[in-house]
Structure 1
Amino acid sequence: MNTVLFYIIIFLTNVIQGITGFAGTILAMPPSLILVGYDVAKPILNVLGILAGVYVFVTQWKHVDWKQLKKVVIVMAIGIFGGFFLKNALAGYDAVLYKFLGIFVIFLAIHGFYSMYGQRQRDTKEKSSWKSMLLLIGAGIVHGMFVSGGPLLIGYLSNEIKEKTSFRATISTVWIILNSMILVQDICAGMWNAGLVMTQCISIPFLIAGMAAGSVLVKRMSQEIFMKLTYILLFISGILLMVK
């Protein structure tokens, strides 16, 4: 039953991903950890991120900002290896990992609502390079541990790439490269087996269906409503992880 619910989570979160343009994996990870555990949720969602990235790259590769791509991949890769180290250091302490992710997604939810309703005083041009580097390294650490560095990367990249198509093409290419690194690490760590491959194959149609549904709904429904729903779900997911 938990596996069936996991597939439904993949479908629903990719519907929201198709509407809002982000949050697919970070929204799917908390309930997936609760339903099927880290050793299933992380590798499955990681590969789905690669497939979603390939879909965008194939159609929009000409719009990739290669300069920003190179910078992001190099800096985030450093953070990813840091994430691998922390995950290994905390092996056997799943409760600690879940609480770490819980705090992270609660922060994202609160920050998201503040961005929508709070005082907005953007100072993007004055952003220092060392803060940008810290943001990217932090994104890499979270991505290496939970394949959920997207929100932090968006915080950096949205200030660097203003054109929507270029932004989408670039961030999708980032996930292809970085998630492939994580896939290699997962294989070397022995996480993949016949059962996991079967689960992965079954999950792909749910990804495709969710993305297709999201692309239809985005033309008919308010994106702001779904942004609010996303932050509410993130907050609830964070609370559930904290008490797990």
Structure 2
Amino acid sequence: MGFDALPSLDQIAVALPTLAVAYIIFGIAGFGTALIAAPVLAHSMPVSAIVPTLALLDCAAAIVNGVRIGDKVARDELFTLVPLMVAGSLVGAWLLLIVPPRPMMLALGVFVVLYAVYALLAPPPRGRLARPWVLPFGGIGGIVSAMFGSGGFIYAIYLGRRLDDKDAIRATQSALIGLSTFTRAVIFAFAGVYSDGRLVVLALLLVPGMLLGTWAGHHVTLRLSREQFLRILYVVLIGSGITLVIRALPSM
């Protein structure tokens, strides 16, 4: 179990503002909660509590986003990505057993940072990414999700080059993350992680931070053009990549 007792007021006082900031990013970009919140929360909570709690909150946040912008989901992209995400997740689970994850995490982090910096500095690309690119992006996103707990930035790169409507990018991204975290939460439930109710109570206590963050993130995006939205998205990608590099280096 994640906690031997319910979280203290000090832990809640740290977690609420942290999650509010993390879910502002989620509300804007549709991903990034774990990469932002987990390193901070790990100073006051065990990782065994953080991951399943964030899975519950991410599911709830995806539902909130779905209510707001669910009609903007690019269903053709979603229905193409989901099977590839599932297949990639199975491959990622297998790779965890045979491949040292740290070098892969470092390489992935460096790639994401370099791509995002290039996207920020280079002239806007002309035309959309060709549909066959869904195969590597969908599969790699699933692999990364299974191996490192977060693959949203991979889907963000793909959707940012496929969709013209920023709300469609956010909505489709959020739906993907919702499906991924729902699957993870179901696995945790069957494994008995939530059986004593403490992590469910923790998630309920942190719901206000999630709601505040998603509300703020949604209202920020209403004032953004697609170009401004993509610039913010690439900055989040840089932060995500740096986080992966930092996580990889100490153990190499």
TM range (shorter): 0.7 to 0.9
Name the CA distance, whole Å, in 1 between partners of 2:153 and 2:165.
18
Q: Distance in 2 between matches of 1:44 and 1:200?
A: 6
Q: CA deviation at 1:160?
A: 3.0
19-28 vs 164-173, greater mean Cα deviation: 19-28
State how far apart, in whole Å, the 1-side matches of 2:175 and 2:233 are.
24
Task: For 1:215 and 1:16, locate their aligned partners in 2 and report how far apart those are by CA, in whole Å.
Answer: 9
Query: What secondary structure is seen at the aligned counterpart in 1 of 2:193?
Result: coil
Closer, same or farther in 2 for the Cα pair 1:30/1:81, shift >3 Å?
Answer: farther
Evaluate the alpha carbon distance shift between residue 5 and residue 243 of structure 1 in structure 2; reply closer, same or farther with a 3 A threshold. farther
Contact map agreement 2:25 2:32 (CA 8 A) in 1: yes
1:64-79 alignment runs, 5 A limit:
64-79=73-88
Q: Which amino acid aligns with 2:14?
A: L
Deviates more, 1:198-207 or 1:166-175: 166-175
Relative to structure 1, the CA distance from residue 230 to residue 166 in structure 2 (aligned partners, 3 Å threshold; closer, same or farther) is closer
Q: State whether structure 2 residue 182 is matched by structure 1 residue 180.
A: yes
Query: What is the aligned partner in structure 2 of residue 93 from structure 1?
Result: none
Q: Alignment partner of 2:58: what SS?
A: helix
Instruction: Give the match for residue 167 of structure 1.
Output: 169
User: How far is the alpha carbon of 1:50 from its aligned partner?
Assistant: 1.3
1:62 equivalent to 2:71? Answer yes
Cα deviation for residue 77 of structure 1 reads: 0.9
| Aligned position for 1:202 | 205
**What is the TM-score when the length of structure 2 is the normalising length?**
0.74
Q: 1:237 is matched with which residue?
A: 243
Contact 1:19 1:218 in 2 (8 A): yes
Q: CA RMSD in A?
A: 3.5
1:156 aligned counterpart, secondary structure = helix
Amino acid at match of 1:52: A
Task: Give the share of equivalent positions with the same residue, in percent.
Answer: 21
Q: When the two structures are aligned, how many residues end up with a matched partner?
A: 237
Shift of 1:115: 1.4
* Cα distance between partner residues in 1 of 2:42 and 2:91: 21
Match of 1:41 in 2: 50
1:203–1:186 distance in 2 versus 1, CA, 3 Å: same
Q: Distance in 1 between matches of 2:106 and 2:13?
A: 23
Residues 131-167 of structure 1 deviation map (CA, whole Å, 9 limit, x = unaligned): 4312211101222344411111122223333223333
| Counterpart residue type for residue 201 of structure 1 | L
Alignment partner of 1:15 is 2:24: yes
Contact 1:158 1:167 in 2 (8 A): yes
Contact 2:31 2:174 in 1 (8 A): no
Query: Is 1:116 equivalent to 2:120 in the alignment?
Result: yes
Structure 1 residue 20 displacement after superposition: 4.8
Structure 1 unaligned runs (5+)? 91-95
Q: What SS is found at the alignment partner of 2:203?
A: helix
* 2:91 paired residue among 82, 92, 97: 82
Unaligned segments of structure 2, at least 5 residues: 1-9
- C-alpha spacing 1:62/1:213, structure 2 compared with 1 (3 Å): closer
Q: CA deviation at 1:102?
A: 5.6
Structure 2 counterpart SS, 1:16? helix
